[in-house]
Structure 1
Amino acid sequence: MFIIKLSFSFEQNLDHSETENKAKAFMPEHLAWLQRGFDKGVFLLSGSLQPELGGGIIAHNISREALDTLLREDPFVTEQIVTPEIIEILPSKTDDRLNFLLD
């Protein structure tokens, strides 16, 4: 299981408005990419990091190598709008509602 943090790449681009405009321009493609991850059963959750710092995704049923490949297909990553950080978690205990994550 993985937590993916997609941080806006402001450090690479000092003009925040340019990054915001670029994000708006590529948002439809990014949302379509996210939907493909949900359709494949890989993404469990996605959302915005507050306050407007980027986004986060929880992924499972995927290898690290396959996840790296999937992230390289995200237009936000390829256009350097966000910088991905991946944290791997090996679940050992869950609430009963999340027991499927232990398989």
Structure 2
Amino acid sequence: MIDYTAPVEEVDYYLADHAKWLDRHFQSGEFLAAGRRAPHSGCVIVTRPMAQVHLEAVIAANPIVQRHLAQFRIIEFSATRTAPELRLVNEALAV
């Protein structure tokens, strides 16, 4: 979870860089879903399982985090139930 520490208007200025960063990690397969929180005070990113140190490095490279406009929290969980549309993803994670 990413929490903005600066006004949204300031964060919005760097959203194009943030989008490029997201694209790289979706293309690599590390990210599964991402989106704005409501109200717009940050975002949530769902990732594939990975070593915590690697995930911290990935998130720390986010342009809005690097510019000290946001901070992040990692919330780890294991999906024990999955909607049919996500069952293939969940089964792939269990391997």
Q: Are the counterparts in 2 of residues 91 and 101 from structure 1 also a CA contact under 8 Å?
A: no
Runs of 4+ in 1 over 6 A off after TM superposition: none
Query: Could you tell me how far apart the structure 1 residues matched to 2:54 and 2:48 are?
Result: 11
Alignment gaps of 5+ in structure 1: 11-18
Q: State which of 37, 42, 45 in structure 2 corresponds to 1:57.
A: 45
TM-score normalised per structure 2: 0.83
Q: What is aligned with 1:24?
A: 12
Q: What is aligned with 1:16?
A: none
Q: CA deviation at 1:95?
A: 4.0
Structure with greater proportional strand content: 1
Q: Deviations over 1:51-74 (max 9, x none)?
A: 112100000142111111111110
Query: Could you tell me how far apart the structure 1 residues matched to 2:45 and 2:16 are?
Result: 17
1:86 counterpart SS class: coil
Q: What is aligned with 2:93?
A: 101
Name the % identity: 23
Q: Does 2:60 align with 1:72? A: yes
Alignment gaps of 5+ in structure 2: none
Q: Are the counterparts in 1 of residues 8 and 40 from structure 2 also a CA contact under 8 Å?
A: no
